Structure 1
């Protein structure tokens, strides 16, 4: 039996699109963009808007900050206590068009030494965990090979 691909957080990204993207919302009244998405009211304190549209966010941005996680996080993070802990890199990325900062893990194989503030990165699909029934999907950031950044 094939395992189902299941997003870690439903509605935060479109895992089935050929053009993998995070999904946010934009207020029709003021134009503010939100991630994680907001479905009921504008979070802008100066706006009373309640009409929000789903929008795909930029696939590229620049590293705003980063750090390495050298400890095993507590539950509910999924981690096998019988395996050796593998550090991971957490990246804060300023999205190209929206100019908002979004957190995520670096793609497997990307270490802190591969990053610097201002490095161009792109969004890629990732896997957080797998079990007998599901492949739990998420997003990762990886450096853009060309070093070029655009709003796509």
Structure 2
């Protein structure tokens, strides 16, 4: 889990961003040092929960094991997954993330509504690495 990027569980799970007090730009991943908007003189940044639902802006699938320096266990089989870019309308930004297990590119369409849920990126005997995933609304998993 990346500290400060998301919080909550179940229906309360939310991605966390930051908003500039001067220009109202929202950032994800969060920004804690300065406003990244080049047209803004800068202001205080406050943590804000992002919308839990958005619309598919684009998508693709990942069909190969990532090369070095990404760490993957060569002993485990590689499982392809769908990667979704989701537009959060009220924040005016696009957030990238994996689809929930079982959702493939064949299940996706540009403009369809999806919701953010907690997911497992990887787990071993000692650690579960939590992340966010996108799930089409109306689908339970």
TM-score strictly above 0.5 = yes
TM-score, scaled relative to structure 1: 0.85
Paired residue secondary structure (1:113): helix
Which runs of no fewer than 5 residues in structure 2 stay unpaired?
A: none
Higher RCO (C-alpha under 8 Å, 6+ residues apart): 1
* Secondary structure of the corresponding residue to residue 45 of structure 1: coil
Q: 1:59-108: CA deviations, max 9, x gaps? A: 00000000000100124544221222110100000013212100000001
1:23 equivalent in structure 2: 16
Q: In structure 2, do the counterparts of structure 1 residues 130 and 15 end up closer, same or farther at CA, with 3 Å as the change threshold?
A: farther
C-alpha contact 1:41 1:48 (8 A) present in aligned 2: no
Cα distance, 1:76–1:59 mapped onto 2, change above 3 Å: farther
Alignment partners' CA distance in 2, 1:103 and 1:28? 25
Residue from 67, 87, 92 that aligns with 1:94: 87
Hey, what does 1:59 align to over in structure 2?
Answer: 52
For 2:114 and 2:54, the matched residues in 1 are separated by 6
* 8 Å CA contact retained: 1:42, 1:50: yes
| Partner of residue 49, structure 1 | 42
Q: Is the contact made by 2:9 and 2:118 (CA closer than 8 Å) also made in structure 1?
A: no
| Counterpart selection for 1:72 from 50, 57, 65 | 65
Aligned partner of 1:121 in structure 2 is: 114
Cα 1:114/1:129, change in 2 over 3 Å: same
* 1:11, distance to aligned residue in structure 2 (A): 1.1
| Two-structure CA RMSD over aligned residues (Å) | 1.6
* Displacement after TM superposition at 1:46 (Å): 1.1
